[in-house]
Copies of this chain bind each other. A is one copy, B any other.
Amino acid sequence: MKTMNVAIIGSKFMGKAHSNAWKNVANFFDVPIKPVMKVACARDKKSLQAFADNWGWEEIETDWKKVIERDDVDIVDICVPPNLHAPIAIAAAKAGKHVFCEKPIALNSEEALAMYEAAKEAGVVNYLNHNYRRVPAVMLAKQMIDAGKLGKIYHWRGCYLQSWTMDPNFPLTWHMKKDIAGMGSNGGINSHSVDLARYLVGEIKSVTGMMKTFIKERPLPGAGAATFSAGSGESTEMGKVELEDAISMIVEFENGAMGSFEASTFAIGRLNYNYFEIYGSKGAVIWNLERMNELQYFSAKDGEGEKGFRTILTTDPSHPYMSHWWPPAHNIGYEHEFHHAVYDFLKGIDSGEGVKPNFYDGYLITKVLEAGIQSAEQKKQIDIS
């Protein structure tokens, strides 16, 4: 079988999720290219070695530039914070590597566009990992919309609500620093909602937004601080939170639908509430990541007096990806979206057709997110150019 060597850059939460997918995808999916876990790259050599040993990465390297230079690397998987996405992705593309990149795409839309252009120029497959597109329930919604089951779409109501930064003692991690994260909740989670809205409803024409940073100063993180955890040894020194905790947007889609977005890490009780409702002329769908194996569906075609939202358990072999997993009605989990993404990425390389969302989608998503910020700052509606 054809193989390709993969290099992963980053070894934290996403490094783990991606490694798991690279390692196991071929057990469940008939991949056209077998990925070989060649080299893992991160700055701290000691923890990197443990990471590589655990997941079976053959080699380690602490300098990502050296990884890119290697002739024996075919695929570069980027799992580091957003500020590094553009430099790595552009270098990798120029070196002819296919690029699998975590979201959000970059610090801003210019970077995103540059990434896309580099990839296009180099003719490499470029994938942006907005993984929720590949939840079976979400893809089922897409199939239903494409089949006309919802008719003309009138409303998108989406939100992505979490609560992990509510504690004022939660430290000022990189997610709150502009030069590393680019955006706050807007980039971290609203980008997922915008990706889903574009995927399911269509392009966005205009945006009105409002933003808030509820807690303006936080303790600087200690040495051990990591993603989503407060770390050990927080400093007593305070630093300025540079990015938004929450953003709301109202949008108009090009097809005339109205849309609303809310992203916040200050929604107590919500842990990973990536939620949307889509209402059309013939039907509606509702989805919620916290119950990711379910899709709610309303069909106007149901009998008089018998209409209502149905809860479809999306674990049937007829549902996207599910024939690869377990018998009907056996739930999959969060991690499996990554297997789906890796599978489709490998197919996209093999077929030469690429895979979506790609860096250009990332560019368009970022344009929407930036319009949200600009609107919030200028207190007026922003048309997407």
A328 → B minimal CB distance (Å): 6
**How far does the alpha carbon of A309 sit from the alpha carbon of B271 in the complex, in Å?**
11
Q: What separation, in Å, do the CA atoms of A262 and B158 have in the docked complex?
A: 12
Q: Which residues of B contact A13 (CB under 8 A)?
A: 326-327
The answer for the CA separation of A307 and B55 in the assembled complex, in Å, is 34
Main secondary structure of the interface of A (DSSP, over half): mixed
Closest chain B CB from A288 CB (angstroms): 11
Within 8 A of B (CB), among A242-271: 246, 248-250, 252, 256, 258, 260, 262, 264, 266-271
For the complex formed by this chain, how many copies does it contain in all? 4
Asked whether any CB of chain B lies closer than 8 Å to the CB of A227, the reply is yes
Q: Are B262 and A331 in contact (CB under 8 A)?
A: no
CA distance A114 to B4 in the complex (A): 51
- Distance in angstroms from A251 CB to nearest chain B CB is 8
- Bound complex: CA A260 to CA B23 (Å): 43
Tell me, yes or no, whether A290 is within 8 Å of chain B by CB: yes
Least CB distance from A326 to B in Å reads: 6
Q: Does A162 contact B (CB under 8 A)?
A: yes
A contact set with B: CB distance below 8 Å: 13, 16-17, 19-20, 23-24, 26-27, 54-55, 140, 144, 154-155, 157, 159, 161-162, 164, 166, 206, 208-210, 212, 214, 227-229, 246, 248-250, 252, 256, 258, 260, 262, 264, 266-272, 277, 279-284, 289-293, 296-300, 302, 304-313, 315-316, 318-319, 325-336, 379-381
Instruction: Point out the residue from B162, B258, B279 that lies within 8 Å of A210, measured CB to CB.
Output: B258
The reply to whether B328 and A335 contact each other, CB–CB distance below 8 Å, is: no
- Please give the distance in Å from A246's CB to the nearest CB on chain B: 6
A335 to B246, CA, bound (A): 35
Q: Determine if A332 and B329 form an interchain contact, defined as CB atoms under 8 angstroms apart.
A: no
In the assembled complex, 21 residue pairs joining A and B whose CB atoms fall closer than 8 Å, in A order, are A16-B326, A23-B27, A154-B214, A155-B267, A157-B159, A162-B329, A210-B250, A212-B258, A228-B327, A246-B258, A258-B264, A260-B260, A266-B279, A267-B284, A268-B282, A269-B307, A271-B328, A272-B329, A272-B330, A302-B310, A333-B333
Q: Which residue of B54, B256, B290, B326 contacts A334 across the interface (Cβ within 8 Å)?
A: B326
Instruction: Give the docked Cα–Cα distance between A286 and B13 (Å).
Output: 31
Contact B329 A331 (CB under 8 A): no
- Cα(A280)–Cα(B166), bound, Å: 10
CB A182 to nearest CB in B, in angstroms, measures 20
CA distance A19 to B28 in the complex (A): 12
Q: B333, A331: Cβ atoms under 8 Å?
A: yes
A269-B283, A271-B315 given; name 17 further pairs at CB < 8 Å.
Answer: A16-B326, A26-B54, A155-B267, A157-B159, A210-B252, A229-B327, A248-B260, A267-B279, A268-B284, A290-B329, A291-B291, A296-B308, A304-B318, A306-B310, A332-B333, A379-B381, A380-B381
